Amino acid sequence: MLKFGIHYGLHFGLPLVVALLFFKQKWLKAYLIMLAAFIIDLDHLLASPIFDANRCSINFHPLHSYYAIVVYLVLLIPKPTRIFAIGLLAHIISDSVDCLLI
């Protein structure tokens, strides 16, 4: 239960903290864009079982792979994709913490 709280606390809390600290004037818009990065969890539908509490997502699912992470880092460079990229990387960080807790 603690792992569940940490996981979702990071998924929702980390983007909120980033939005409040770095996008003060448009924090809500930035927060919602970062939450849209949850779209990368669609790759879980390719796995069997779809959800496994004891599976590390990092480098298991295609959109959580090291190659994808490099793309997310590159997406930090252009201003139009920066906030979404931060959301993607915050999602990866949250999932990485899960891997440490397994």
pLDDT value at position 5? 85
Question: Rounded to whole angstroms, how far apart are CA atoms 67 and 58?
Answer: 11
- Note the pLDDT tens digit of each residue in 2-46: 777 888 899 999 999 999 999 999 999 999 999 999 999 999 999
Residue 7 pLDDT: 86
Using an 8 Å Cβ cutoff, are 101 and 10 in contact? Answer: no
**How many CB atoms lie under 10 A from the CB of residue 96?**
16
Helices of type H across the chain: 2-22, 27-35, 66-74, 79-101
CA 99 to chain centre: 13
Q: Tell me the pTM.
A: 0.94
